[in-house]
């Protein structure tokens, strides 16, 4: 764990390594985070619920990962990608989506600094831990481990990418 002190607060990051894997993903441009995330998550839930050419019910994997892309000036862009990892049993041959908005993509392995948050994801944008090569000017990931309608006590994380050598 990394301990980072900023603004008289202490943030604990957990360093994790994730291997390359296939993900089901949907994306949107032009609308805000709050406007579009529910719609994108629903498309993925339909896919794993059997809306695929094979009609397979796919066990959901946690977390649901929302990739956020800040603009060069540091402001949040209106480009988002929501993805879920395809379960191991389907990694070699994932069911084919019937919705053209859902795509299967191979994501490279990555090392992340994972930060547990109880605030809204967009509030995390204020963290700037450059001494650990974590840059909010690059993509980062907002992750939810709970069902979408869980009202409180949610487990949310933000992942910042570690710069690979």
Question: What tens digit of pLDDT does each residue of 68-89 get?
Answer: 887 776 666 778 899 999 999 9
> CA separation (Å) from 36 to 9, 44, 58, 62, 82?
31, 13, 23, 20, 10
Beta bridge partners of 24: 84, 104
Say what the pLDDT of residue 26 is.
98
Sorted by sequence, the CB contacts under 8 Å of residue 143 that are 6+ apart come out as: 63, 64, 65, 66, 114, 156, 157, 158, 159
Question: What is the percent of the chain with per-residue pLDDT over 90, rounded to a whole number?
Answer: 42
Question: What tens digit of pLDDT does each residue of 77-133 get?
Answer: 778 899 999 999 999 999 999 999 999 999 999 999 888 876 555 444 444 443 344
**In the block, which residue shows the tokens 């481990």?**
145
Domain count, the chain: 1
Say what the pLDDT of residue 156 is.
84
Instruction: Give the confidence band of 2 by pLDDT, cuts at 50, 70, 90.
Output: very low
Question: Could you tell me the CATH number of the domain that includes residue 143?
Answer: 3.20.80.10
SS3 138: coil
Written as six digits, the tokens of 94 are 């994932």
Query: Structural domain of residue 48, as residue ranges?
Result: 2-161
Say what the pLDDT of residue 123 is.
45
* Nearest CA among 18, 6, 47 for reference residue 157: 18
* Nearest CA among 12, 134, 6, 8 for reference residue 70: 134
């Amino acid at each position: 764990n990394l301990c980072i002190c900023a603004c008289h607060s202490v943030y604990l990051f957990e360093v994790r390594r994730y291997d390359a894997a296939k993900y089901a993903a949907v994306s949107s441009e032009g609308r805000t985070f709050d406007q579009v995330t529910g719609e994108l998550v629903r498309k993925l839930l339909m896919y794993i619920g059997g809306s695929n050419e094979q009609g397979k019910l796919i066990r959901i994997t946690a977390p649901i990962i929302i990739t956020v892309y800040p603009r060069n000036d540091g402001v949040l862009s209106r480009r988002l990608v929501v993805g879920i990892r395809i379960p191991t049993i389907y990694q070699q041959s994932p069911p084919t989506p019937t919705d053209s908005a859902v795509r299967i993509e191979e994501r490279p392995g990555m090392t992340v600094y994972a930060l547990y948050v109880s605030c809204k994801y967009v509030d995390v944008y204020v963290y700037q831990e450059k001494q650990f090569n974590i840059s909010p000017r690059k993509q980062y990931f907002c992750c939810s481990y709970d069902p979408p309608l869980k009202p409180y006590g949610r487990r949310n994380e933000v992942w910042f990418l570690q710069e690979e050598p």
